[in-house]
Each structure stands twice: as structure tokens, then as C-alpha cells.
Amino acid sequence: MKIVIIGDGKIGSVLAEQLSKEKHEVTLIDKSSGPLHQSNNDLDVMVVEGNGVSRPIQLEAGVNHADLVIACTGEDELNLLCCLIAKKVGARHTIARVRNPNYVEELNLIKDDLGLSMTINPEQECAREMARVLRVPSAIKIDTFAKGRVEILKLSVAENSPLNGMALYEMGKFKTKVLICAVERGEREVYIPSGEFRLQAGDRISIVASPQEAQAFFRQVGVAKSRVRQAMLIGGGRMCFYLAKQLLASGIDVKILESDKHHCESLSQLLPGATIIHGDGTDQRVLLEEGIEHMDAIASLTGIDEENIIISLYATRTTKAKVITKINRDSYEDIVGDLDLGSVFYLRSICADNVVRYVRAMQNSNDYESMETLCKIVGNKVEAMEFRVRANADYCGVPLQDLHLKDNLLIGCISRNGKTITPRGSDTIEVGDSVIVVTTHSGLRSLNDIFAARH
């Protein structure tokens, strides 16, 4: 596909990298030559220097022949205008990054008029994932599928856990319908495990289950935590606003620490149910005075990664709270993996996942199925995808044991008529099913891609 990205900033560069890896023809537009020069050297992309809102610049970048234009400059209004012009010029689909909370409701009214295929709000999406984890504090990370009926939850295996040393075929003793779909061991080892695989302390496992079965499993393995009642959010930016709004709606008491007095005043008006404190969240004295030791959850949400890391390290060492850390730079992933920072969320990756899912869905032009969800559950090493089967295909009605799936791939769950099925060899895929596939293979676009070549 031909894709034009307007804005070679934090989000634009990550999107360009991800989409070029998936063999798309990517062109970047930016007013600054510095970022473009870097992208031109590091990525397999074309670059055009100039104002992305300019029709001549768009034509030079080939927007008139583009399958997709993504506008992700630093200004919401500019992104909307870029998409409007791109659509007029001839682009098939357009995506705009819009971050301002004031525009969320209005966009629903004018989205069709602007010709927008989709809007992305990285802070709102990231806050949504954080709120999901705070509702189930036992998990490190949660991704939802089949409209919330199926979840993939990540947790660590402790030294004293009954899972330590257990082979997966022995998990039937827990009498819960869960499936371990991926295991991270150390910094680099990732497994899509078979029944013979034996867990060990320190492993980070991802399980597929319904929310109810997941909770039952957590209780049986001794990692269930009580629900969050009080949360402290440090850093009063956009993500803080989106997260606080969701937590308040869930009945959680929210306290926000923000060092900028103007931001404090704005948050007081936008979030009357929250307690807003004007103070430095990196100051231990301030944190202690505001009761960090009594919190059930602490989220480090400042705009500086290093500050968030320090705050979270302090929180994990001085409290028993559920800790959440926001990280902007993916380059920190190897370092962060060695630190006890609780649940870590990479803002750029969440945004990129949503766009890649949309692009793959565009490419999947067959009438049999559609890609509903795409998540990276182990960094960029494992993908979890949900496919909705819309019409009868060759694989429908065939027992899974006869389908010859690729190596390092498993069908984690089938959702049928509101019920979740933990698949066995005798189960089948039927029309109307939502099928969750977990694999180390990248770039799968349809269920037809999950089968091994027959020789």
C-alpha cells in the first residue's frame, strides 16, 4: 500500500518504522529537514520537505495516489486540515491525530464531513489501557478482545507461586478455563508454549481467558489483589485528565500532583471530583505529605521519562500500591525491563498498534473475515489478533487438530454467541466466531495466513 505520513515527530517516526517493516511504500512529509534526514538514513521510506497542508507538497508526495494519509503533526487543527485537503486531492483513506479533550465529542459530529476514516488520540488510548489494568491490579497488562468478553492478561511467576516448576499440561488442577499463550523468560527469550513447557520463577506469562475465569485463576495461584480505591496520579497532562476521568467514573478517589499552577487550576475545573495538589511529584517529602504510603495505585505520568522512572522506583520500594509508569521512548525498553516499575505503558507503541491494525484490515479484502483487534503483547515479539469470521470459508467446520497451523502460533480462544471457548483439537471455527490468534509471526492479515504450507 502507498501510505503518506505528515509529521515526522515522535508518533510519525514510529508509524513510519512499523509500516515500512510491513513492506508498505511510505512517504514522510515534514517542514524540518533534521528529522527527515534521520528517517531517510534509518528507514526504508521516501521523504518530502515542506508544509503538509500545502496542496503542491501533498501532490509531490503522491497523496493523490495514496491508499492512506496519516496526519500526526503537533497541532490538532493542522492535522484535520491536512486530512481534508488530502481527501480532496484524491487520497482513499485519512487518519488524523487529535489530542485535545475539547474536540472528542465534536469529532463525532464532523468526522464524516471531513472525510476522516479514523482519528487517533494516543493519550486517551493509553489512559484506557491503564484504567483497564487498575480495574484488575493483579495483572501487569491487559488487552481486550471480542467486545470485552475475552482478555489477554500478563502476570509474573513468583518464587513461591504454585506455577513455579509446573508444566502447562498440569494446569488442569486449577479447574479454570485459561490458556497460557506466551511466556517471556529473561530479556530475549519468548515462547509460544506447548503442553510440555515448564514454567519457572521470573517468567512473565500471558494468559487468555474471560474476565471471570481470569479472576478465578488469580485467586487460585495466590496473586489476586483487592480493588483500587485510592489512586495518586503524578503529572497533570492530557493523559492524566483522560485517566482521572475514567477512574472517577469507576468510583475511585483520585489525587493529582502537578507542579504547574495553571494546569492545576484547569484540572480543578475539568475534574471537580478529583483532589488537585500543586506540588512537585518528584519530591519525596511532598509525596509522603500527600499520603503516597496509603494509596492503592500510583501512576507516574509526567512528560519526562526519567522522572517517571524515578517516581515509580520510589513508589515500588516504599508502598504496596499498584504502580503504573508512562514511557515515551521505546529505546528505553531494554533498560526498563530490568527495573521494578510495575506496569509500563509505551505511548507511541499503543498508537502504532491501532494504525497497523487498521492498515492490515484494509489489506484483508476477502469477504470471509475481518481483523477486529491487533495487540503487541510481548513488545514487538508477539502479536495477538482477533478475526471475525463473516462467511463460510475452507477452514470452517474443520477440527483444529486437522488444520496444520504454523509453528509458534496458537489459537488462544474462540468467542461464539457470547460464550468463550478454550480451544481443543476437536473444536472448530464457525461463521460468526471471533477467533483470537497469538503468534511470533509478524504481518498476518487473515486467518488464511495462520496455516503452514502443505508439501
Which residues have C-beta within 8 Å of that of residue 393, sequence separation ≥ 6? 368, 369, 447, 448
CATH number of the domain within which 179 lies: 3.30.70.1450
Same domain, 265 and 363: no
In a domain, residue 371? The reply is yes
pLDDT at residue 455, as a whole number? 45
143 Cβ neighbours under 8 A, 6+ residues apart: 129, 151, 152, 373, 375, 377, 384
Asked whether the beta carbons of 373 and 145 are under 8 A apart, the reply is: yes
Grid cell, residue 297, equals 495505585
**Which domain, by its residues, includes 192?**
127-221
Is 342 in the same domain as 354? Answer: no
The reply to whether 245 falls in a domain is: yes
SS3 385: strand
Pair 187, 257 in one domain: no
Which residue positions in the chain have pLDDT lower than 70?
A: 331-332, 334, 337, 364-367, 453-455
pTM: predicted TM-score of the whole model, two decimal places: 0.84
**Max CA distance (Å), the chain:** 69
Quick one: 48 and 29 in the same domain?
yes
Distance CA 377, CA 186 (A): 16
Give 327-359 pLDDT, tens digit per residue: 987 766 767 767 888 899 988 888 888 888 888
Q: Which CATH number belongs to the domain containing residue 29 in this structure?
A: 3.40.50.720
Domain boundary among 196, 221, 246: 221
**pLDDT tens per residue, range 163-194:** 999 999 998 888 888 999 999 998 778 999 98
Residue 455 lies in a domain: no
Residue 410 lies in a domain: yes
- Tell me: do 289 and 268 sit in the same domain: yes
Which residues are paired to 150 by β-bridges? Answer: 145
Question: Does one domain contain both 372 and 410?
Answer: yes
Angle between the N-to-C axes of helices 238-249 and 261-270, in degrees from 0 to 180, rounded to the nearest 10: 30
Query: 113 and 143: one domain?
Result: no
Residue 148, pLDDT score:
87
Counting Cβ atoms within 10 Å, is residue 431 exposed (0-12), middle (13-18) or buried (19+)? middle
Query: 110 and 9: one domain?
Result: yes
Summarised one tens digit per residue, pLDDT across range 234-282 is 999 999 999 999 999 999 999 999 999 999 999 999 999 999 999 999 9
Q: Which amino acid is at 413?
A: C
Distance CA(352)–CA(383), nearest Å, equals: 13
Among 95, 120, 145, the domain boundary falls at: 120
Indicate if 298 and 339 belong to the same structural domain: yes
Domain ends where: 289, 320, 346?
346
- The number of distinct structural domains making up the chain is 4
CB 275 within 8 A of CB 255: yes
Among the listed residues 216, 221, 259, the one whose alpha carbon sits nearest the alpha carbon of residue 237: 259
